[in-house]
Structure 1
Amino acid sequence: MKRLLAGLALNLLALAPTIRAAELKLELGHGVRVYHTAELLQRKDVRRITVPADVAFGRVMHYRAIPLRALLDGIAPDDHLQFVATDGFAAEIPAALILNGHGSVAWLAIEDPAQPWPALASGHGHAGPFYLVWTQPQAAHIGPEQWPYQLAAIRQLAGVAERFPAILPDPSLPAGSEVRRGFAVFQRTCFACHTLNGEGDAKLGPDLNLPHNPTEYLGNELLRAYVRNPQSLHRWPQAKMSGFDRQTLSDVELDALLAYLRHMAGRKATTAGAP
């Protein structure tokens, strides 16, 4: 019995540095603010919330969480935020969506080391220690790419168009064109995992234009099926890309996305630094 207790004590000591190392960095234009798990769990605005259809777990989940806007001191609706995960995921979310979600509320869910969250399905690892979740996400049409887990940093940055000009469609296209609408869909659904023309901060998936654009090697119907269900093309249990159903990505939006990708196949990066 003493040996068992001693072993448990050693395991807890081994875990202690990991628990202490759980930190979230906020870079909001006035220096870097670092929050640790224990500090966040002790805040007075921590709430117990229920998420009926959690994106990462695919079921009802219960969290201890803080309204995210409470941590965003000095952020204005016109600002742009990037949410960076430890697995290379980088979600670009307008601050207005968090400050005024028209009924959707963004929460920073905090994993309590004493009550860890379950592992994610299909070998996708663990969602902790921090996770951006939403209540009433349908009110503001929050998509699955706007639920970043394994969250490590939140940054205030210039908008995507300013930071990554090589992903922009031809500026001569009219504002309401299908390609421009597809560019908006691309930013919401693809840019959190993929780069394009070598530009972007995500490091989870391959570049979608270099050396080849998917519209160059997949037919329209096969590509549409792949976006809906990646396993329909490659059956790979460890694959991280999840499909986009019609509730998340309508057929009209998918058509626009493919129009943007076809357009960008003719606008490959040609700078010396491009791959």
Structure 2
Amino acid sequence: MNLLNVTDPDDPRIAAFRDIRERDLVGRENRFIAEGEVVLRGLVQSARHRPLEVLIDAKRAEKLRPLLEALPPGVPVYGAGQEVIDQIAGFHLHRGILALGQSAPARPVSELLAQLPEKALVLVLKAIANHDNMGGLFRNAAAFGADAVLLDAESCDPLYRKSIRVSVGSVLTVPYARLMDGEDVLGLLEHSGFRTFSLSPRGEVALADVVPPQRSALVFGAEGMGLPEEFLTRTQTVSIPMAGGFDSLNVATSSGIVLHHFAQPFFSRK
């Protein structure tokens, strides 16, 4: 491992890591920042995204050696003191690890669906604008073995730094694709043999009464406005019964409960 020493926060070699909070907000040109050891490991293991360069607290180099040596050949690893890293990032980076990643080319939803196994579990996200929720949804998808995540055009970018961090790197490992504006995801799912379930407080059946089919798609909408009426009329609606006077949960929390129920028949194939 060749650790490249950085002592100046204005060193041009680490320009990609400078003021990353602001850079994340203005656009990343098909690149993203991965933060922390767990997330870096997810990037190294990703089958689609790839690391371009890494910046670490030099004091952590020896402990991180096995992970850093798993990087593809030619990926530079820069080492700096904590104070210099904080100046580069623009805030205190207590995890002491940043990586610049190259996002994979976008692929059509139909292509991803065609690659799924005979037994498959898919998440469909509609207008998810909160990056914490996006990260939580991907984390739950990974935890319960979902095969793919489909995002509509209104949903936020899962490769936003905070989404990746909240997902503990699962955004980099769970296959996903984004729908084009106006693309009929329900029609695509039906054509691929999926039965689709929409989560709603007005659901016709309680979650516990649903017997998961071999190919299941679960639709989650933004908190507050929920799912459009079209989704509720064209799919089987499902509710999570709650105590009187309470009718909703955080969307990431709901997804964990629902995924756990739908994943039970699938665990044997993993």
Q: TM-score range by the shorter chain?
A: under 0.3
TM-score of the aligned structures, taking structure 2 as reference length: 0.26
TM-score of the aligned structures, taking structure 1 as reference length: 0.26
